[in-house]
Amino acid sequence: MRNFIICVKGVNVSMVNLLHDLTQAIDKYNLDFDAFAYGQLKSKQWIIDELEAMNNPYLGVVFNLCGWYGLLPAMMFNARIKAKKIRSFDIDESCWMIADQMNKTHIQDEWRFKAIIEDINNINFETHTWEGWSNVAMDYISVTESPDTIINTSCEHTNDEWYKNIPSGKLVILQSNDYWAGDKHINCCFDFDDFSNRYPMKDVLYHGQRAFEKYTRFMKIGRK
């Protein structure tokens, strides 16, 4: 299966694809390298580690909110994560081409990944129709999908309206922090209790916090 690491004569094909797509993105675009900072990478790896510790629950169709450059999906595809498809939504129009390049291998796999320009407050988490640019059709194509899993690792960048729109039963993976000095951080949490109260879940599968140099990051995984 494509979602597992494939080794051919000792070569990790998935890692080769990831590094190739990343190199191409660096060559083609003027990237904000804060996306690859230690805290960013460790925070995303934290999600992967906890999912693997849960014996990798099936994520189905994943909506990754505030997806930025699509780094988390790229890391998930390179891990033993059971996801059918990943969609990366970001309102920043400069992000989608970079995210698509970062995950080009998986775009070419029948759009297993796709980045979309969208305000996450406008997403219908029951059944959502989005538009994505197709290099084959040389036009925008409409796709209608129902997400099984919703991920937002940037809750500090948004208000909480999107969370209220998520129906009960969906698997949700959330991260936020207490770094009020961060650029465009408009909705940080004061501590873990504040974070947990803002994003209630009926079935919490994991919750925790980790201290980084300038901030503490909070995470919850569970069913809303």
Q: What is the pLDDT of residues 14-66, one digit of tens each?
A: 778 888 888 888 888 988 888 889 999 999 999 999 999 999 899 999 999 99
Banded model confidence at residue 211, pLDDT cuts 50, 70, 90? very high
Q: What is the mean predicted confidence (pLDDT) over 1-6? A: 38
pLDDT at 159 over 60: yes
Three state DSSP letters for 2-53: CCCCCEECCEEHHHHHHHHHHHHHHHHCCCCHHHHCHHHHHHHHHHHHHHHH
pLDDT at 127 over 80: yes
Q: What is the mean predicted confidence (pLDDT) over 200-206? A: 97
Nearest residue to 218 via CA among 155, 162, 171, 168: 155
What are the C-alpha distances in Å from 46 to residues 70, 78, 149, 193? 16, 14, 17, 20
Q: Is 219 exposed, middle or buried (0-12, 13-18, 19+ CB in 10 A)?
A: buried
Domains, in order of start, for the chain: 7-223 (3.40.50.150)
Q: What is the pLDDT of residues 60-81, one digit of tens each?
A: 999 999 999 999 999 999 998 9
Half-sphere exposure of 108 (CA within 13 A, CB side): 7
Q: For the beta carbon of residue 125, count every other beta carbon within 10 angstroms.
A: 19
pTM: 0.90
